[in-house]
Structure 1
Amino acid sequence: MDSDTRDDEAARDDQTESTPLLSDSPPLKSATGDSWGSELWLLAQYSIPLIATYLLQYSYSVITTFVAGHIDADALAAASLGMTTMNIVGFATIEGMATALDTLCAQAYGSGNLLNVGLHVQRMWFLMILAVIPIGAFWVVSPWVLSIFVRQHHLAVMAGTFMRVSLVGLPGYASFEAGKRFLQAQGDFRGAMIAILICTPVNAFLSWLFAFKLGMGLDGAALGSALTNNLRPVLLLAYILLPTGRWSHQCWGGFSRDAFSKWGPMVRLSVAGTAVNLGEWAACELLTFSTSYLSTNHLAAQSVLMTISVVSWHIPFSIGVAISTRIGHLIGAGYIARARRAAVLYAVVCALVGSVDGLIIFSLRNYLSAFFTEDRIVCDLVSKTMLAVGVFQIIDAIICCTNGILRGLGRQSVAAWVVLAVNYIAAVPVTIWLELGSPGLELNGVWAGLGGGMVLIAIIEGLYMKTLRWQDCVASVKLREGM
């Protein structure tokens, strides 16, 4: 009998393991169904709209790349440089901060403190405003900063101007990330999907209109995407205010002065979530850059492989977001035993999803590359690396699961330390050695080294969750939510 089970029994006397440890908890969805099947069905209900949402969000980058590619080669290179910089200095931070709400809002809802869901969102919104100021300042001076690192001065200026125009949409991007967590914590994953489903064709139209019809070029593509980013939270707000979202008003108590106090837990979780994102994203970008030391063809092939992998990653990542919400609900309500069993089930599901993704990628190895380029040398490099990329999907999916569980438990800081330590002390140096050193594995070395580091991350995070007293996570919720 593990320590959590003993603590459970001591705390609840003759209660069943499905009885919440915290008082006044709302009835959780599927709370009475304690079977594997009901848990799988709930996970599917959460995950499917999330997968659609995140894939549609990623389509914004695809649309911008497509538009830039039809302008000229310089526009394509500048757009790639600008979007990469914005991802690292901007979007990774915003999305990392928003993961704090995956913990706080889900746990507050599960604990029965419904108004705290809206209060946490308010705090995050004000914190994001503060974060946008230095991010925006960097984007403004980016033409000069990029000129230091990029040899082609005109590309640096084009990329920097692209970022300046994109700054128009950064507040909307941040507001949407915070707003969709407000609904997700309550088990509604459709609102964000509907908003972004409407915005995607609008984005494509505006990008075409500004870039080609009005002759703005690359800046027009940036402006079309930025304006659409600002439209997304407006549509999300409309969804909440309309009859379809009125049920969510139980979690909104109006604007409160309390939103300017008790920021400690949110700041800590935000910093940890941002560290995880930067630790993963920057490592991938660094290793992609390292392939330029092999040849231009290797860099092109790695760009194709990374694009394929990122598209595939959105599926387990979306499932990971659903997992963090569900675990947060269960921990908030005090269902420790059920949360542990669900975590095991989720690990199996993610491993299977990653296996299917990897098998599909490997099976289509001779076709996917042709979708991106007609260069035979690049296609051959892509095809020869697909086995390593396919196996990588399994590991990546498991990491999405472990990180999702840790967010649900409120232990993002553990993931942050593990990711940063493993990636930059071990994975990145070993990967560069495998790629450029005596083994001479080239692109296979990139994916094998990065995958090996992620295996180590998964093992460490799994062992941590195995030894963690989940009762302590419940106690943290009780203390924070004032119960």
Structure 2
Amino acid sequence: MEKSSTAPLLTRKEEEEGASSSFMRDAWVECKMLWYVAGPAVLTTVFQYSLSSVTQTFAGHIGTVELAAVGIQNLVITGIAFGIMMGMGSALETLCGQAYGAGKLDMLGIYMQRSWVILFVTGLLISLVYIFTAPILKLLGQNDEIADMAGKYSIWMIPELFGFAINFPIQKFLQAQSKVMAMAWMSFASLVLHVLLSWVFIMKLEMGLVGAAITLNFSWITLVLAQLAYILAGSCKEAWTGFSWLAFTNLAGFVRLSVASAVMLCLEYWNLMVMILLAGLLKSPEIAVGAATICMNVEAWCMMIPFGFTAAISVRVSNELGAGRARAAKFSVVIVVMMSVIIQSIIVLVLMITRKDFPVIFTENKLVMEEVSKLTLFLSATIILSSIQPVLSGVAIGAGWQTTVAYINIGCYYIVGLPTAFLLGFKFNFGLEGIWSGMITGIALQTLILIVITWRTDWQKEAKLSKERLLVWGSSSNVPAIGSELGEQQ
């Protein structure tokens, strides 16, 4: 009797050990595939974000007003442009990623060119915001001196706007093919050049914000030209077949997906922008805005790894859905969320330990440093939540859920988070800490909803929708429908 009761137990134990071993093996393989894209994507994001961060750091050593002006221009005005351009460009993550997974490489270059057309026209419209920055900021209640200085700086930064229009489609085009290491090297070279030029123009030649604008524009233009040269030199022969008039076909459908992507990401990015604007309405706006922009700067630095994972999971999910491998897409989501949470928890621990020391990197003003130290707890909570949220946004982009997530963002950020921030910050007089607490409420709610949606997703159904999407977005009046051959085989 003993033998018969023990044997099944041992068998179950062996099965459990085998299942555990299989999971660890599959997780290790998935980690390597994710880091193959995420590693260079993290570096690319760090290097490209550092361009404006370096400029803001140099501006902080010019003066407090200059720091606030560059900070509010960078996070509000450039934030509007960056959010729209990156959002509209992220439509390529869905289309290029799923086309690549389905083996339709010839359409990637066409998609990128369509995105260039759309983003260039969008840039022309957004340039009006750059031109009228000063009156817009004053209308929103910002300090006149800060608004006027930010307005001048904003006009000088218009060339950067069109750099975004070319850069983001290139990024998504190369990411879909996992050609991210070249972008990382080019971004690194651009950053090194930018640091040197910023030191010369801002510190040595004492050109102030004019020097800051010259160096930042030049660095972005140099980066964009380098990436274009990389593509045109033949590094993506199957995906890039030259400029084509097909870039001007099927634009209406492409615009719809681009706008949905932009709305989704802009509502997330502008949530932080609103916090900066509300900080400008508090007493001592120079201190509040300066502290808030430094914290946002630190958060953006800390978010480089999740943003890299966002790119990686978008590529993995879109590629796997395009290839019809639903289970692999789901497994990839689980692994990337686990990695992001672990890494961000370590970063938060470091921030809490150094909360009285790290503000000196950005400013010499003691009052601003003290305010930043007080805000570190709120900053840490945001980073922990954001270890999951951007990754799930990447899943949404890879799967093509942009419209759904846009509605979620409206509810969480602007119906729940923003009113809560206003009440806590102004009605109950908790100041910047209250404003940030309200924003955290919106982020927490959004993260929870995205977790539930991702967990309950029917990935087999998403794989079928991916094939249908290729039929819709890949067709035009002059070319065969993308995926028609695949559809016939079905």
* Structure 1 range deviating more: 36-45 or 76-85: 76-85
CA distance in 2, matches of 1:431, 1:202: 40
**Aligned-pair CA distance for 1:302:** 2.9
1:466 aligned residue:
455
Q: Secondary structure at the match of 1:418?
A: helix
Structure 2 letter corresponding to 1:458: T
2:323 aligns with one of 315, 333, 344: 333
1:457 aligned residue:
446
Is the CA contact 1:358–1:392 (under 8 Å) kept in the aligned structure 2?
A: no
Q: Secondary structure at the match of 2:243?
A: coil
Is the CA contact 1:354–1:395 (under 8 Å) kept in the aligned structure 2?
A: no
Change (3 A) 1:363 1:265: farther
Structure 1 letter corresponding to 2:293: S
1:304 aligned residue:
294
CA distance in 2, matches of 1:370, 1:460: 37
**Aligned-pair CA distance for 1:211:** 4.5
Q: Are 2:392 and 1:399 aligned? A: no
Change (3 A) 1:474 1:257: farther
Residue deviations 1:68-99, cap 9 Å, x none?
33444443333233223332331111111111
Change (3 A) 1:365 1:457: same
Flag structure 2 segments of 5+ consecutive residues without an equivalent.
1-23, 471-481, 484-490
CA distance in 1, matches of 2:437, 2:148: 36
Is the CA contact 2:261–2:403 (under 8 Å) kept in the aligned structure 1?
A: yes
Correspondence 1:33-52 to 2 at 5 A: 35-52=26-43
Q: Are 2:40 and 1:55 aligned? A: no
2:97 aligned residue:
106
1:18 aligned residue:
none
* Structure 1 range deviating more: 424-433 or 286-295: 286-295
Change (3 A) 1:151 1:445: closer
Change (3 A) 1:104 1:435: same
**Aligned-pair CA distance for 1:435:** 3.2
CA distance in 2, matches of 1:114, 1:143: 45
Is the CA contact 2:72–2:276 (under 8 Å) kept in the aligned structure 1?
A: no
**Aligned-pair CA distance for 1:155:** 4.3
Structure 1 letter corresponding to 2:259: V
Q: Secondary structure at the match of 1:366?
A: coil
Change (3 A) 1:371 1:137: closer
1:273 aligned residue:
261
Is the CA contact 1:170–1:229 (under 8 Å) kept in the aligned structure 2?
A: no
1:263 aligned residue:
251
* Structure 1 range deviating more: 318-327 or 272-281: 272-281
Structure 2 letter corresponding to 1:156: A
**Aligned-pair CA distance for 1:66:** 3.3
CA distance in 1, matches of 2:83, 2:165: 11
**Aligned-pair CA distance for 1:406:** 0.7
1:282 aligns with one of 253, 265, 270: 270
Is the CA contact 2:138–2:147 (under 8 Å) kept in the aligned structure 1?
A: yes
Residue deviations 1:243-265, cap 9 Å, x none?
xx63x211122222222122344
2:342 aligned residue:
352
* Structure 1 range deviating more: 209-218 or 442-451: 209-218
* Structure 1 range deviating more: 314-323 or 257-266: 257-266
2:464 aligns with one of 447, 457, 475: 475
Is the CA contact 1:362–1:386 (under 8 Å) kept in the aligned structure 2?
A: yes
Q: Are 2:390 and 1:424 aligned? A: no
Correspondence 1:88-127 to 2 at 5 A: 88-127=79-118
**Aligned-pair CA distance for 1:427:** 1.0
CA distance in 2, matches of 1:349, 1:71: 39
* Structure 1 range deviating more: 153-162 or 427-436: 153-162
CA distance in 2, matches of 1:395, 1:411: 21
TM normalised by structure 1 equals 0.85
CA distance in 2, matches of 1:442, 1:147: 21
1:163 aligned residue:
154
Q: Secondary structure at the match of 2:357?
A: helix
Q: Are 2:59 and 1:68 aligned? A: yes
* Structure 1 range deviating more: 372-381 or 199-208: 372-381
Q: Secondary structure at the match of 1:35?
A: helix
**Aligned-pair CA distance for 1:164:** 1.9
Structure 2 letter corresponding to 1:422: C
Structure 2 letter corresponding to 1:185: A
Is the CA contact 1:150–1:156 (under 8 Å) kept in the aligned structure 2?
A: no
Correspondence 1:364-383 to 2 at 5 A: 364-383=354-373
Is the CA contact 1:347–1:401 (under 8 Å) kept in the aligned structure 2?
A: yes
1:27 aligned residue:
none
Is the CA contact 1:173–1:230 (under 8 Å) kept in the aligned structure 2?
A: no
CA distance in 1, matches of 2:25, 2:323: 15
Is the CA contact 1:287–1:432 (under 8 Å) kept in the aligned structure 2?
A: no
Structure 2 letter corresponding to 1:466: W
Structure 1 letter corresponding to 2:468: L
Structure 2 letter corresponding to 1:63: V
**Aligned-pair CA distance for 1:443:** 4.2
Is the CA contact 2:313–2:395 (under 8 Å) kept in the aligned structure 1?
A: yes
Is the CA contact 1:354–1:398 (under 8 Å) kept in the aligned structure 2?
A: no
Q: Are 2:72 and 1:81 aligned? A: yes
CA distance in 2, matches of 1:378, 1:141: 29
Correspondence 1:178-197 to 2 at 5 A: 178-197=169-188
Structure 1 letter corresponding to 2:84: T
TM normalised by structure 2 equals 0.84
Is the CA contact 1:102–1:407 (under 8 Å) kept in the aligned structure 2?
A: yes
**Aligned-pair CA distance for 1:212:** 6.0
**Aligned-pair CA distance for 1:301:** 3.3
Structure 1 letter corresponding to 2:129: F
Is the CA contact 1:355–1:391 (under 8 Å) kept in the aligned structure 2?
A: no
CA distance in 1, matches of 2:279, 2:136: 23
CA distance in 2, matches of 1:216, 1:373: 19
